[in-house]
Amino acid sequence: MGHKHQTGLKVRLAARGLDGVTLLIIPSLLLMIGLFIYPFLYGLWLSFHPKDGSFLGNYARFFADPFLYETINKTLWIAMPATLINILFAVPVAFRVRLMQNQRWLTTLLVLPITLGTVLVAEGMLNYLGPQGWFNRTIMLLGLTAGPVKLVHNYWGVMLSLIITGFPFTFLLILSYVTGIDPALENAGKTLGARATSRFRHIFLPLLIPGLAITFCLSFVQAFSVFPSAVLLGAPAGPTRVISIAAYQAAFEEYDYSMASSIAMIMGFVQLGIVVAVLAVRGLFYRGPAVGGKG
Amino acid sequence: MSKDHSAFRSLRLEQVGRVFGAHNALKNLNLEIQRGEFVALLGPSGCGKSTALNCIAGLLTTSSGSIWLDDRRIDVLDAEERGFGMVFQNYALFPHMSVRQNIGFGLKMRDVPKAEIAKRVDQALATVRLESQADKLPGQLSGGQQQRVAIARAIVIEPPLVLMDEPLSNLDAKLRLEMRQEIRRIHAGLGSVTIYVTHDQDEALSLADRIVVLRDGEIRQVGTPEDLYMRPAKLDVADFMGFRNRINGRVAQQSGDQVVLDIGGVHVQGQARETITGPIAVASLRPDDLVAVAASEAGAFSALVEAIEYRGRDFFGSARLPDQTEVFFRSHHRLNAGEPVHLMADKSKLLIFNQEA
């Protein structure tokens, strides 16, 4: 009787898509809970328990102090253009690369900067683009400028580093969206008399918008949490005092974990706001498959 | 646009070739197609038929030769400038545009005024009988409806040439028959040239005025459907047109185009389609024309039945001759595998070819 009932339960669970294989998600579920959900909820709780004992004290302090709340704008002012520039560069390159035979070499070449990490890229930039680096020596030798151009320890250093480290990621994502568009659609456009610009505007772009929106969100979130390059290549007390620096200082210079949590929460909500806005705009466009029929 | 269309008399392919790396996909193709003709390019996959179509469309560049519309050389033009309508195998409808926008796209690219676009799209929708689906997206339509949209999109620009690349291969059998009639009707209404690529001989036979059989990038035979069906010129063409039986025999007697072959002691007579050169030749015959008969009839092959299947009007089966040649035959009654059978060839339908090199 009991045995019979057990089989029945198993069958019913399987009908709902739950079987032995489902158990394989347990390790990742534990990781998610332990490393993301619990710290997030703990941080949220912590942010409402500031040193002064009030409920919203941290948030009030953040939005009252320009040295703190201006970090939002400063971060946006770096992350937004960096993301847009990366996308604007990546789209034409992806359109060219989609026609290439040996994409693998290029992909390898592009994945390398991702594996190197931001710190190594920052070190390299400090050397090459610094006042004594080859870049400035070259342009001075050519007489293009009288003195060295300041490319590090300011806004442009951080921007450049975000473009260099962010481009491969943006590019690879966009390439996968571009190659996902059925080439027959372009041929159909050609036979109907559409030239390259018309084909891009009327066929490719509308089909790419959903992918571009996702790419924007992922690249933006990456750029928004910029920390190492803002410290190493920027002016961390001035124009590149990004929000993650504010959180770092609260946590490890003032030892105010509650305040740091609040800043992290504010950072999270700003990102979430932008992502939700972008995805909402995406919802206005066609989002179905990018193929032109069966087969 | 329509002026160009009425002015054109013929499409000419002169020595057209296309090379992919070391592979000669198309070799010295010569073909002239008159206005109003429906021509099918027929052949097995890899024969170069799609390559030929894409070269005409301008989606592939030619490696050699030239293509002419009357005295205008078109192989040097981009696909965008040729103004031919093309229907793709997977339809290639723009998934983000409504049926109406899809059909109107070519006119929009030609800067046709909006009011006229609307009028002509309505006509095209009526031609393919899709008026009620005009505002849907392609993804909301069935396969047959999508194919009709693709056809409407290609013909609305009133092209001198409509190119179709296996347009029916993704449809089910019943729909394919219906769409054949539609395509034929639309072609008749247009009065332009339709070039239709297919690997399906039934489709080619039922649709085309003229069939071009291709193999390994070369034209094997050009002819009317009747020509190809009744009088294939080469063994491989015969094979492709449904002459599944290829039986080797010794040439016993030859007078004019009538040849008698000795096949394992049985003498069969047939019509030679080429000058028979060797001592051994091949008898080529449709399964329909090799019929199971009673043992008493003279001049029949004996064979052992291997498999048999029921196909409605008759049974069709395969059998082996004593020399192990596999043959395909028709029978009025059910036979069993392993059973001996006597097969009589219809000599009026039997063709004789040289052996393939």
Is B105 part of the contact surface with chain A (CB cutoff 8 Å)? yes
pTM score, whole prediction:
0.83
Distance from the Cα of A86 to chain B's closest Cα (Å) equals: 26
Among left, alpha and beta (phi > 0; psi -120 to 50; other), residue A245 is alpha
Query: B83 contacts in A (CB within 8 Å)?
Result: 193
> Which tokens belong to A129?
């683009």
Torsion from C-alpha of B286, B289, B292, B296, nearest 10 degrees: -130
Residue A295 included in any domain: no
Number of domains in chain A: 2
Question: Strands across the sheet with B10-20, in order?
Answer: B23-34, B10-20, B64-69, B72-73
Ramachandran angles phi, psi of B274, nearest 5°? -150, 165
Q: Mutating which of B80, B161, B175 best tests the A interface, going by the most A Cβ atoms within 10 A?
A: B80
Comparing CA positions, the residue from B311, B310, B316 lying closest to residue B329 is B316
Lookup: tokens for B126: 């009526």
- Closest-CA residue to A112 (of A174, A166, A168, A195): A168
Q: What is the pLDDT of residue A294?
A: 54
Closest Cα of chain B to A135: distance in Å? 43
Tell me: the pLDDT tens digits for A235-276? 988 889 999 999 999 999 999 999 999 999 999 999 999 999
Burial of A83 by CB count in 10 Å (0-12 exposed, 13-18 middle, 19+ buried)?
buried
Q: Is residue A293 domain-resident?
A: no
CA distances from B132 to A15, A16, B129, B209 (A): 40, 40, 8, 33
Which pLDDT belongs to residue A295?
A: 44
Same domain, A31 and A80: no
Find which of A99, A191, A201, A204 to mutate to test the B interface (most B CBs within 10 Å of its CB). A191
Could you tell me if B309 lies within 8 Å of chain A, comparing CB atoms? no
Please tell me chain B's helix, strand, coil percentages from 3-state DSSP, rounded to the nearest 5: 30, 35, 35
How far apart are the C-alpha atoms of B257 and B247, rounded to whole Å? 18
Residues A78 and A136 both lie in one domain: yes
Numbered residues of chain A with Cβ closer than 8 Å to any chain B Cβ: 182, 184-185, 187-195, 198, 202-203, 206-207, 285-286, 288-295
| Partner A contacted by B146 (CB < 8 A) | yes
- The CA distance from B27 to the nearest CA of chain A, in Å, is 24
In a domain, A153, yes or no: yes
Q: What is the pLDDT of residue A10?
A: 81
Helix, strand, coil fractions of chain A, as percent rounded to 5: 75, 0, 25
- The residue range of the domain holding A10 is 1-47
Among chain A residues, CA nearest to B110 = A193
Instruction: Report residues of chain A scoring pLDDT below 70.
Output: 1-7, 293-295
Per the CB < 8 Å rule, is A190 touching B94?
no
* One domain for residues A76 and A37: no
Measured CA to CA, the distance from residue B10 to residue B29 in angstroms comes to 16
Among A47, A67, A85, where does a domain finish? Answer: A47
Query: Are the beta carbons of B94 and A293 separated by less than 8 Å?
Result: no
Beta pairing class for B23-34 and B10-20: antiparallel
> Are both A39 and A60 inside the same structural domain?
no
Statement to judge: residues A75 and A29 lie in one domain = no
Mapping DSSP to helix (H, G, I), strand (E, B) and coil, where does residue B35 land?
Answer: coil
SS3 B165: strand
Per-residue pLDDT tens digits for B147-177 = 999 999 999 999 999 999 999 988 888 888 8
Q: Are A190 and A140 in contact (CB under 8 A)?
A: no
Residues A147 and A108 in one domain: yes
Confirm whether A291 is domain-assigned.
Answer: no
CA-based max dimension of chain A:
93
Q: Which residues of A touch B111 (CB under 8 A)?
A: none
Residues A200 and A253 in one domain: yes
B30 membership: H or E segment, kind and range: strand B23-34
Residues of B in contact with A181 (CB under 8 A): none
ipTM for the assembly:
0.85
Examine the domain organization and report whether A40 and A116 are in the same domain.
Answer: no
Interface of B with A in 37-96 (CB under 8 A): 57-59, 78-86, 88-96
The pLDDT value recorded for residue B46 is 87
Our measurement of the distance from residue B5's CA atom to the centroid of its chain's CA atoms, rounded to an integer in Å, reads 26
Tokens of B68: 């002419």
Helix (H) or strand (E) holding B293: strand B290-293
Does one domain contain both A22 and A71? no
Residues A129 and A199 both lie in one domain:
yes
**Rounded Cα gap, residues A236 and A238, in angstroms:** 6
Asked if B138 and A293 come within 8 Å (Cβ–Cβ), the reply is: yes
Domain identity same for A222 and A196: yes
Residue A5 lies in a domain: yes
Chain B contact set for A195 (CB, 8 A): 80, 109
Residue bearing tokens 């001035």: A238
A20 and A64 inside one domain: no
Residue A85: inside a domain: yes
| Cβ–Cβ gap A292/B94 under 8 Å | yes
pLDDT in tens, chain B (357 residues): 444 445 688 999 999 999 998 899 999 999 999 999 999 999 998 899 999 999 999 999 999 999 999 999 999 999 999 999 999 999 999 999 999 999 999 999 999 999 999 999 999 999 888 999 999 999 999 988 999 999 999 999 999 999 999 999 888 888 888 889 989 999 998 888 999 999 999 999 999 999 999 999 999 999 999 999 999 999 999 998 889 999 999 999 998 899 999 998 899 999 999 999 989 999 999 999 999 998 878 888 999 999 999 988 899 999 999 989 999 999 999 999 999 999 999 989 999 999 987
> Tokens 């009425």 belong to which residue?
B6
Question: Which of A47, A63, A81 is the endpoint of a domain?
Answer: A47
3-state secondary structure of B36: coil
B142–A contact, CB cutoff 8 A = no
| CATH number of the domain that residue A256 is part of | 1.10.3720.10
